[in-house]
Chain A
Amino acid sequence: MPLGPFTKQEHLEIATLGLQLAVSQTLGVLAGWWLDRHFNSLPWFTLLGAAAGFAAGMYMVVTGARKAQAAAAENLNNKKADK
């Protein structure tokens, strides 16, 4: 059942984007913090991890949004064609 311009699957993927941003940043910081503890270099790897996590998260949000936008346009075109 289509909900607005999106299908159920697309809604679910869009709803996941926020969590993906949060998790990627958290994992980046944790990985950096672990490396810092290992190499005794606090805070450099933590900062690098935070930046890398943020970059990865933003990349996922932007690509996810672009994919959703394309899917919405395709769904609307299909609707028009059906009419």
Chain B
Amino acid sequence: MDVAEILSHHILDHHWGYSLGGVELPITTHTVTLLSVSVIMLIGLYWISKGGASTLKRLLTAGAEEYVTFIRDGMVLPNMGTEGKSFLPYFCTLFLFILLTNLAGLIPNMKTATSNISVNAALALCSGGLIVYCGLKFHGIIGFLKGFIPSGTPGWLVPLIFPLEVISLIIKVCVLALRLFANMLAGHMVLISLLLMIFIIGQLSAVAGVGAAIPAMGLEIFMTCLELLVAFLQAYVFTLLTAIFAGSVIHTH
């Protein structure tokens, strides 16, 4: 049994090999997951927004209102102030998109697109763009650039501090992508490794394999529950940190 091959098959993206007139179509397991999540979000949220008299519709509408209030009062307003209100739709979309993509990975035959660094890099780029846009919108180009220099910095230190502050912002955005990537990838690697443990021990002796199945499955259930928590936590952390960084650009000291 080639453990490395099974691990890579479980974790890496797979090209479906469709082409149109000789042009390879970018249809992979991750893009299909991303598109599914996007379509579900678009149709689902549109359906909820239409409202209705049925109990389910009213329940979903109340849930959606609660969700928006949670993002507004828990993340946007405390960190960005009232200036952040206009960016509320971005944060609501970001949290729900990351959450649903993370959760999609727990459905059998679906893949965790957030365990692909390219997907997370795109999300982080969007957040980075928002942070820069906030700075430019509220302070203008000169004010935004001035914000990189902490107050009280001696003039001779400015050429050193300015690039360091710019690099800090870039690294903060990179860290957003890497944290989500590492957490989601590691969780799924642990899940498949626990399952593989049964077969690895089973190769030594069938009885030992059956014996290993019981603790392995117990750990598997525990890890799946933990992954469920991580899915929520990482979506929360990504959104909250974006709000914190955007807030620090808006309210420079």
| B 194-253 contacts with A by CB, 8 A | 237, 240-241, 244
CB distance from B146 to the nearest CB of A (A): 17
The chain B residue sitting closest to A59, CB to CB, is B164
A55 to B172, CA, bound (A): 15
In the complex, whether A73 has a CB less than 8 A from a CB of chain B is no
Interface flags for B151-176 (1: CB within 8 Å of A; 0: not) read 00000000000001001100110110
In the complex, whether A65 has a CB less than 8 A from a CB of chain B is no
Interface of B is mostly: helix
Of the candidates B78, B79, B171, B174, the one having the most CB atoms from chain A within 10 angstroms of its own CB is: B171
User: Given A19-B178, A23-B175 in contact, is the A56-B168 Cβ separation under 8 Å?
Assistant: yes
In the complex, whether B57 has a CB less than 8 A from a CB of chain A is no
User: Given A19-B179, A23-B178 in contact, is the A12-B241 Cβ separation under 8 Å?
Assistant: yes
Residues from chain A with Cβ under 8 Å of B241 in the complex: 12-13, 16
In the complex, whether A9 has a CB less than 8 A from a CB of chain B is yes
Interface flags for A40-63 (1: CB within 8 Å of B; 0: not) read 000000000000000111011001
Q: Given B164, B175, B237, which contacts A20 in the complex, CB threshold below 8 Å?
A: B175
User: Given A16-B175, A24-B171 in contact, is the A9-B79 Cβ separation under 8 Å?
Assistant: yes
Contact A55–B171 (Cβ < 8 Å): no
Contact A24–B178 (Cβ < 8 Å): no
In the complex, whether A27 has a CB less than 8 A from a CB of chain B is yes
User: Given A9-B78, A55-B164, A59-B164 in contact, is the A20-B240 Cβ separation under 8 Å?
Assistant: no
Contact A24–B244 (Cβ < 8 Å): no
The chain A residue sitting closest to B164, CB to CB, is A59
A75 to B174, CA, bound (A): 30
A-side interface residues toward B, CB under 8 Å? 9, 12-13, 16, 19-20, 23-24, 27, 55-57, 59-60, 63
Q: Can you sample 11 A-B contacts with CB below 8 Å? A: A9-B240, A12-B237, A12-B241, A12-B244, A19-B175, A20-B168, A23-B171, A24-B167, A27-B171, A59-B164, A63-B168
B-side interface residues toward A, CB under 8 Å? 78-79, 150, 164, 167-168, 171-172, 174-175, 178-179, 237, 240-241, 244
